[in-house]
Amino acid sequence: MDKKNLIDKHKINDKDCGSADVQIAVLTERIRHLTKHLDTFKKDHHTRHGLLKMVGRRRRLQKYLRKTQPERYAKLAESLGIR
């Protein structure tokens, strides 16, 4: 899925492109892509470092969304298939 479609699917209003929901969705897609890459290239440590930073950023955004709006977080987690 490309980034524009991902943003359109998870935005809250018409002008939204940076809400926590959108950021989590974009990071999740990038994380999945890099995970596939690292299955093939096991010694690519620079990419692994970037992946771990993205996972940490997504985890912080999830924590924020879960704390401030739990119902929105639950809906997003279900649609993205994340915990």
Place of tokens 């970037």: 50
Q: What pLDDT is attached to residue 68?
A: 95
CA distances from 48 to 6, 31, 55, 71 (A): 24, 10, 10, 32
Number of domains in the chain: 1
- Tens-digit pLDDT profile for residues 30-60: 999 999 999 999 999 999 999 999 999 999 9
Secondary structure (3-state) at 15: coil
Share of the chain above pLDDT 70, in %: 99
Q: What pLDDT is attached to residue 72?
A: 92
The mean pLDDT of 59-69, rounded to a whole number, is 95
Q: What pLDDT is attached to residue 73?
A: 93
Mark out the alpha helices in the chain (DSSP H runs): 3-10, 20-40, 45-68, 70-80
Residue type, 68: T
**Which residues constitute the domain of residue 65?**
3-8+15-80
Supply the CATH number for residue 52's domain.
Answer: 1.10.287.10
Q: What pLDDT is attached to residue 48?
A: 97
Q: DSSP code of 81?
A: T
